Amino acid sequence: MEPWIIPALTVTASFAGGVLGGYFSKRGEIHAVHRELDKVVAQTTATTKAAEEIKDTLLTKAWARDVRKEVCFEAIKTVGKLNERLTDLMLSHRMKEGDFVTDTLRRKKLANDFDAVHDELLGINMLVQVVSSKDVSEAVGELLKYSLDLAIELSKGKLGEGEEQVERGKKFGLLRVHFGEMVRKDLRIDN
């Protein structure tokens, strides 16, 4: 055997070992980086998903709160209109014969106006039942029932005179105050 073959093989093996060792070492590093990158991507995906769920939950809660406010404010406005129509109706029945308010057509128009607002509040109450607390819904229900009872008694001439009508009006006012308190509680509005 030639004396230069062993040193040549040694140099070649060293060179090949260095190149292949560097290659496999770099390949191992790249593989390790990919594994770590996969973990980071999975963690980032999980974090992003959790953040999106939290955001959706907060947006849903904010939307629900806004809808609840809108429905309650509509109910408050309609209760005010109902009070006006009921007052007009009660006043028309307190007038003595010969006054312009006792005219049958006027009373019928007032009764129709009352019915329209009562029906409007009835529709709003359906929304109140969906988006508000049970207390608010029950308060609206009490207003609806009491105002309808008053209108029916008025139409039958059974409401009474003077002080009795005033007391019934006061009770309706107290029901309105109770309704307002329930709305304030539901919307967490402080004085």
- pTM equals 0.66
| Residues contacting 111, CB < 8 A, separation 6+ | 89, 151, 155
- Residue 125 has φ and ψ, to the nearest 5°, of -60, -30
CATH value at residue 107: 1.20.120
- 44 against 72, higher pLDDT: 72
Task: Establish if 1 belongs to a structural domain.
Answer: no
Task: Establish if 54 belongs to a structural domain.
Answer: no
- pLDDT bucket at 25, cuts 50 / 70 / 90: confident
Task: Establish if 83 belongs to a structural domain.
Answer: yes
Single-letter residue type at 87: T
Q: With DSSP H G I counted as helix, E B as strand and the rest as coil, what are the percentages for the chain, rounded to 5? A: 90, 0, 10
Express each pLDDT in 60-97 by its tens digit.
888 888 888 999 999 999 999 999 998 888 877 766 65
* Cα–Cα distance measured from residue 23 to residue 107, given in angstroms and rounded to the nearest whole number: 100
The number of distinct structural domains making up the chain is 1
Express each pLDDT in 97-141 by its tens digit.
555 555 677 778 888 898 999 999 989 988 888 888 899 999 999
CB 179 within 8 A of CB 79: yes
Domain membership of residue 119 as a residue range: 62-187
Q: Which of 43-57, 60-74, 155-169 has the lowest mean pLDDT?
A: 155-169
Task: Establish if 183 belongs to a structural domain.
Answer: yes
**What pLDDT score was predicted for residue 140?**
92
Task: Establish if 29 belongs to a structural domain.
Answer: no
Task: Establish if 109 belongs to a structural domain.
Answer: yes
Task: Establish if 27 belongs to a structural domain.
Answer: no
